[in-house]
Amino acid sequence: MSVQRLTIATRRSRLALWQAEHIKARLQALHPKLTVDLLPLSTRGDELIDRRLDEVGGKGLFVKELESAMAEGRADIAVHSMKDVPAELPPGFTLAAVTAREDARDAFVCQRYASLAELPAGAVLGTSSLRRGAQLRERHRGIEVRLLRGNVDTRLAKLDRGEYDAIVLAVAGLVRLGLEPRIRARLSVEESLPAPGQGALGVECLQARADLLALLAPLADDDTARCVRAERAVSRLLGGSCALPLGAYATIGNGRLELQALVASADGARIVRARAEGRDAEALGAVVAQSLREQGADALLLAR
């Protein structure tokens, strides 16, 4: 093995550090002589916590500083939650591995009410996601969906202070941080279709680093990678970013992928949905993206 020491660029949040430590532990289990260091960095996405991501630059705000660290040689790899990775990577970068997926669903977190259906009219529901907000507004017209930014602990603290009646977070993040008891209900994919890549971790590096690509290959989970490729293909073909309320979720059985996706208006007044099956992830993503377009997705995109 040519790599003896490796540095992981990571955001500073508790969840991001957990993710980086998880990949570090897996690498050291595979390669006991490998030394792995962490390089925690602050990103613009973490700093701009009072505005929607779509208003200030999108998902790239969470990864740009990490990519700069790799380009400058300060770090070798970066670990991301795949739902935070833009549909298009900058030239010269690649996803070396997508790991096995945690539960991809969204979580309803609330102290007083056991489910979304129990929320009374006028209840304030917090989320940072246009995707979640649109779907929740469609099904629960009486609630008020309000912006909620910050890391997982910050969001939970705002709920506990009574600033919101309930909040919606990713199941995966709560489970990874040992906060599973805070989950009152796991929302079905029919209630809240996940974001592309939700629940999966991705390891990014420079495309030219053949030594790292070989080192990281054993971390990859082929089924998860196929599903995430299909989901991200929908997002990429629709020009997807967090400026677009878009959900996409794929499952796999007997070698075949089943992919469902949606595009919504931000207020949830109009949502178009598509579903298809196939074996090739990219081709399946293209079929579903085209179906969404035929139902008027482009008009929803232009309305943003």
Q: What is the CATH number of the domain that holds 77?
A: 3.40.190.10
**Stronger pLDDT, 227 or 151, i.e. the higher one:** 227
Q: How confident is the model at residue 4 (pLDDT cuts 50, 70, 90)?
A: very high
**Stronger pLDDT, 89 or 244, i.e. the higher one:** 89
Q: How confident is the model at residue 30 (pLDDT cuts 50, 70, 90)?
A: very high
Domain shared by 81 and 111, yes or no: no
**pLDDT (0 to 100) of residue 47:** 47
pLDDT at 17 over 80: yes
Domain shared by 13 and 90, yes or no: yes
pLDDT at 284 over 60: yes
Domain shared by 70 and 206, yes or no: yes
pTM higher than the cut 0.85? yes
**pLDDT (0 to 100) of residue 299:** 84
Domain shared by 78 and 152, yes or no: no
pLDDT at 92 over 70: yes
pLDDT at 8 over 90: yes
**pLDDT (0 to 100) of residue 44:** 58
As for how many domains the chain has, the answer is: 3
Q: How confident is the model at residue 3 (pLDDT cuts 50, 70, 90)?
A: confident
Check: CB of residue 249 under 8 Å from CB of residue 231.
yes
Does residue 194 sit within a domain?
no
**Stronger pLDDT, 199 or 245, i.e. the higher one:** 199
Q: Span 55-82, mean pLDDT?
A: 83
**pLDDT (0 to 100) of residue 83:** 93
**pLDDT (0 to 100) of residue 52:** 46
Q: Span 231-260, mean pLDDT?
A: 89
Task: Provide the 3-class DSSP secondary structure of residue 108.
Answer: strand
**pLDDT (0 to 100) of residue 304:** 55
- HSE-CB at 249 with a 13 A cutoff on CA atoms is 19
Does residue 286 sit within a domain?
yes
**pLDDT (0 to 100) of residue 239:** 83
Structure tokens at 74: 């300060």
Does residue 282 sit within a domain?
yes
Does residue 192 sit within a domain?
no
Domain shared by 157 and 299, yes or no: no
Round to whole Å and give the CA distance between 167 and 174. Answer: 12
Domain shared by 95 and 118, yes or no: no
Check: CB of residue 244 under 8 Å from CB of residue 299.
no
Round to whole Å and give the CA distance between 273 and 264. Answer: 9
Structure tokens at 118: 């129990």
Q: What is the pLDDT of residues 56-68, one digit of tens each?
A: 444 556 688 999 9
**pLDDT (0 to 100) of residue 301:** 73
User: Side chain identity at 91, as an amino acid letter?
Assistant: P
**pLDDT (0 to 100) of residue 244:** 72
Does residue 195 sit within a domain?
no
Does residue 249 sit within a domain?
yes
Angle between helix 281-294 and 222-237 (nearest 10): 30
Nearest partner of 162 among 213, 123, 206, 209, judged by Cα: 123
Residue at token pair 């970068």: 93
Does residue 148 sit within a domain?
yes
Domain shared by 214 and 69, yes or no: yes
Domain shared by 296 and 147, yes or no: no
What range does the domain containing 49 cover?
5-99+200-220
pLDDT at 45 over 70: no
Does residue 225 sit within a domain?
no
Q: How many CB atoms lie within 10 A of CB 131?
A: 26
Task: Provide the 3-class DSSP secondary structure of residue 247.
Answer: strand
Domain shared by 9 and 68, yes or no: yes
Which residues, including other chains, have CB under 8 Å from residue 178's CB and lie 6 or more apart? none
DSSP state of 44: H
Strands (E), 33-112: 35-41, 77-81, 93-98, 106-109
pLDDT at 241 over 90: no
Q: How confident is the model at residue 48 (pLDDT cuts 50, 70, 90)?
A: very low
Largest CA distance in the chain: 61
Give the active site residue among 46, 50, 76, 84: 84
pLDDT at 173 over 50: yes
Domain shared by 58 and 205, yes or no: yes
Q: Span 46-52, mean pLDDT?
A: 48
Domain shared by 74 and 214, yes or no: yes
pLDDT at 43 over 80: no
Domain shared by 73 and 26, yes or no: yes
Complete edge-to-edge strand list for the sheet that includes strand 124-127:
144-147, 124-127, 166-170, 106-109, 183-186
Strands (E), 18-114: 35-41, 77-81, 93-98, 106-109
Whether 84 is a known active-site residue: answer yes
Structure tokens at 5: 């020491």
**pLDDT (0 to 100) of residue 57:** 43
**pLDDT (0 to 100) of residue 193:** 97
